[in-house]
Chains A and B, each alone.
Chain A
């Protein structure tokens, strides 16, 4: 799963440089060629708020809130009721499942479950790809070769069959196991992208200047290189989360996921098993499917915004 985020371009710099003349000590700056007023405290902190970014953040934020807070206020999702498969009503806003469980409650817990998987995979991918990609590329030499080899091997191993094999060995899977499995199969692509970009950063003049100034290598990595990697890292993490959530949904739908827990994928799995489509019980599979699609779209929008910020060529209107 290769990301096509391009390397960030340096922002346009002011090019004015006219001087009023040459004095005995060198040029005299024109009154107009003065130091410009400050642009802001931190330049690279956040991309500008565009419609895309706002939409992505709002939708994603709402779903996130739902996943965090809703489980505290809904009914118990596991309680079996006698009414069987029933549509939305006053007592059950999104109806019930085949065994009478409240769909809204399940949706709340499922959101939490899916988001948890997304978060875990995001963090683990960040750690693994950061280590194997960035540290390897910066160190150079045999470390770079070794890490690159490991990344490439992991990349070449087919992800889905590996996941299926691992999943089929362990029968009673928890969310944590599923998250781990997805992380292991997903970090290599990011590592390659990060490695490429770190290699290019490593030979930039300001890194060489830091070496010439006498900085220690680890400090150069932390202080000079890492801050310029942040936008790319952010995009990679967001992408990893999307991959995790969609991947988990796919796995669970095949019955290979954390069937004992509530996630969007497992809801779809049970809905499929309970013949929801055939029976017309739209309230069972549409909500999880809709939230899945919406959250994926929201994260993608955020990623587009990061891409546009990082690569000025993608921006439509001038800033």
Chain B
């Protein structure tokens, strides 16, 4: 059970002639058992926020706190951070190494974060993880390489990998946008179930307002690096305040609204 605090995060990239402020004073809190949705279009900075949270980049300003203490960036502190905060990447075809088996992908984090386990114990954990993400039979799946699995299956492996260290916080960066439509809800349902079972704090990054509304407790709308609106999911969509949010809500395809229009 962990809390992650992002406080006034800023990330600037120095380009040849200008400075690009990808993230501009972003703050939020991830609490166990709650899902936060970060909604924005491409170029809004949401993926950069994910990289900052995963310590793949260092913020230009601002800080991140784990359980109210500043994060460590090296050594044992970093290892502890990695054990607690995990990520599911967007592209199921790129986030798994084509050369290695599924078992390898899952064994490594288990070994890294639960050192001292014997090989059979590690193997057992790997199979258990596969069962939790509904990839059965697990011993057959473990032997496969990524290209032998479908997109949805790969993404489940990615989720299993993220769960291997038994984290408290999960960052899901557009986890279903590259999957076939009919399996998206299944994967999102799986994430919701796992969140409940593990009492995780989840950051769900997406461009799709509809799924954000269904899976998140709170929505943060991001535009050109800053958060322009935040609030409970239903409120943000039913009664948006900021111009940009209103434009997003109006632009998203809404069959029910359309049917009402057509019938009127």
> Residues of A at under 8 Å CB distance from B?
10-19, 22, 25-27, 29, 33, 35-36, 38-39, 43-44, 204-206, 208-215, 223-224, 227-228
Contacts and interface: CB of A to CB of B under 8 A. Distances in A.
B54 A212 contact: yes
Given A43-B145, A205-B89, A213-B109, A11 B140 contact: no
Contacts of B83: 214
Given A213-B82, A228-B98, 4 more contacts: A19-B183, A35-B149, A43-B98, A213-B161
Given A10-B98, A205-B94, A33 B108 contact: no
Interface string B96-140: 111110000000110011000000000000000000001001001
Q: Which of B90, B147, B150, B190 has the most chain A CB atoms inside 10 A of its CB?
A: B150
A208 B161 CA distance: 13
Interface of B: 54, 56, 78-79, 82-83, 86-87, 89-91, 93-100, 108-109, 112-113, 134, 137, 140-141, 143-154, 158, 161, 164-165, 179-180, 182-183, 185-186, 189-190, 193
12 contacts: A13-B151, A14-B149, A27-B134, A43-B98, A209-B161, A213-B86, A213-B109, A213-B112, A214-B78, A214-B112, A215-B112, A223-B100
A211 B87 CA distance: 11
Nearest to B143: A38
A213 B150 contact: no
A43 B95 contact: no
B174 to A, nearest CB: 12
A33 B151 CA distance: 12
B135 to A, nearest CB: 8
Nearest to B96: A206
B89 A35 contact: no
A26 B189 contact: yes
Contacts of A215: 108, 112
Contacts of A38: 143-144, 148
A23 B95 CA distance: 28
A33 B156 CA distance: 14
Contact of B151 (A17, A19, A25, A29): A17
A211 B56 contact: yes
Nearest to A206: B97
A153 B149 CA distance: 46
B262 to A, nearest CB: 28
Contact of B95 (A26, A44, A205, A214): A205
B260 to A, nearest CB: 27
Contact of B189 (A12, A22, A214): A22
Given A206-B96, A206-B97, A228-B99, A213 B140 contact: no
B143 A10 contact: no
A213 B165 CA distance: 8
Contacts of B164: 213
A35 B137 contact: yes
Contacts of A43: 98-99, 145, 147
Contacts of A44: 98-99
B134 A26 contact: yes
B49 to A, nearest CB: 15
Contacts of A224: 97, 99-100
Contact of A35 (B82, B112, B141): B141
A25 B140 CA distance: 22
Q: Which of A18, A22, A213 has the most chain B CB atoms inside 10 A of its CB?
A: A213
Contacts of A223: 100
Nearest to A216: B112
B190 A26 contact: yes
B199 to A, nearest CB: 18
A43 B134 CA distance: 25
A26 B186 contact: yes
A97 to B, nearest CB: 52
A223 B91 CA distance: 21
Given A19-B182, A209-B89, A212-B56, A13 B146 contact: yes
B90 to A, nearest CB: 8
Contacts of B154: 13
B148 A14 contact: yes
B186 A19 contact: yes
Contacts of B152: 17
Contacts of B93: 10, 13
A101 B150 CA distance: 66
A15 B144 CA distance: 16
Contact of A16 (B137, B148, B150): B150
B56 A205 contact: no
B148 A212 contact: no
B94 A206 contact: yes
Contact of B79 (A16, A27, A214): A214
